Amino acid sequence: MSSRRRFIKNTTLYSAFGGFIAAGEASYAAGSLSKHTNEPIVISTWNHGLPANAAAWEILNNGGKAIDAVEAGVKVPEADPNVRSVGYGGYPDRDGNVTLDACIMDENQQCGSVACLEHIKHPISVARLVMDKTPHVMLVGEGALEFAMNQGFKKENLLTPESLKGWRSIRKELETKKAIVNIENERQTIISEDNHDTIGMLALDVAGNLSGSCTTSGAANKLHGRVGDSPIIGAGLFVDNEIGAACATGLGEEVIKQAGSAMVVELMRNGRDPESACKEIVQRIIKTNGAKKDLQVGFLALRKDGAYGAFSILKGFNFAVFDAKNGNKLIDSPFS
């Protein structure tokens, strides 16, 4: 066996290269990443990834396409009012508006995106239609809403009583602290196990094709009109069907500054394993920000051969993985 080539059999395990290898016989060698396992797999951020993965798996396990799986998967948290950082019931901006960001990307590097979209429960499906039905990549605000309604989406109130209550309490706390002096203070809603953000999902189908999706209500208490990394191709999500896919979670501004997900994929192209690629971009963010407390960003990556990995700045980021061998599992991400 060449020293550049490794074969790892029949288990989900943490590889010597710092990445996880999917169930089944997986192989890789730098420069031959177009190999794949023929074993579908779906991975997604945070524990809301578990039910999302289950919906995606239904499609993958029946021989469906990764692009359909990643759309169906993230629609689960989008519709769940208890997931306070995605879709319906998501925390509003500082003025009390729920504004949603989402994007989707397929194996042909076709992509669609919506940003600052209000009143539509499934921004991911609007993003899919931007991809499928328009010559554009991104629609924002009123234009995105108009497009969605023309496509038959129903206008809904996405602000649940619980979200409104949460928003009022954040506002009260900030006002009490007289912290509304700059946006730096305003955006420090800590992203943790108890206060998730984005769902990013990456899938590999039985044909060996990769796709990804990403959807969020964005940073709680953001300025109205603020757009994070999640709808930005290359920042919150990137897919290169020859190499792999990556997505991000955490403070979007820092992800955008690094072109985070595109960089993770590019590092994998250059031979870095998924976890090490994620770690490298996390380290660049840390370097830029010094010892800033409570700054959380995490990346998740899936390579063409089914290997996956993650890395975050702070403890507490986790992700869900579903494959045939191991079922649906939640894994704690390594952190800096």
Binding residues (CB under 6 A) for ligand GLY: these are 197-198, 216, 218-219, 228-230, 249-252
* CB closer to ligand GLY out of 21 and 74: 74
DSSP letter at 181?
T
CB of 248 to ligand GLY, least distance (A): 6
* CB closer to ligand GLY out of 250 and 306: 250
CB of 94 to ligand GLY, least distance (A): 14
Q: What are phi and psi of 52, to 5 degrees?
A: -65, -45
- Residue 160 a catalytic site member: no
Q: Please check whether residue 78 is in contact with residue 124, taking contact to mean a CB–CB distance below 8 angstroms.
A: yes
Question: Helix, strand, coil: what percent of the chain each, to 5?
Answer: 30, 25, 45
* CB closer to ligand GLY out of 18 and 90: 90
* CB closer to ligand GLY out of 39 and 197: 197
* Candidates 12, 198, 216, 249; catalytic one: 198
Give alpha helix (H) positions in 177-315: 183-186, 252-257, 260-269, 274-289
Torsion, CA 291, CA 297, CA 98, CA 135, rounded to 10: 130
> Which residue matches tokens 């506002």?
171
Alpha carbons 73 and 55: distance in angstroms, whole number: 5
CB of 213 to ligand GLY, least distance (A): 14
CB of 218 to ligand GLY, least distance (A): 4
Using Cβ positions, the residue closest to ligand GLY within the complex turns out to be: 228
* Catalytically active residues, by annotation: 198
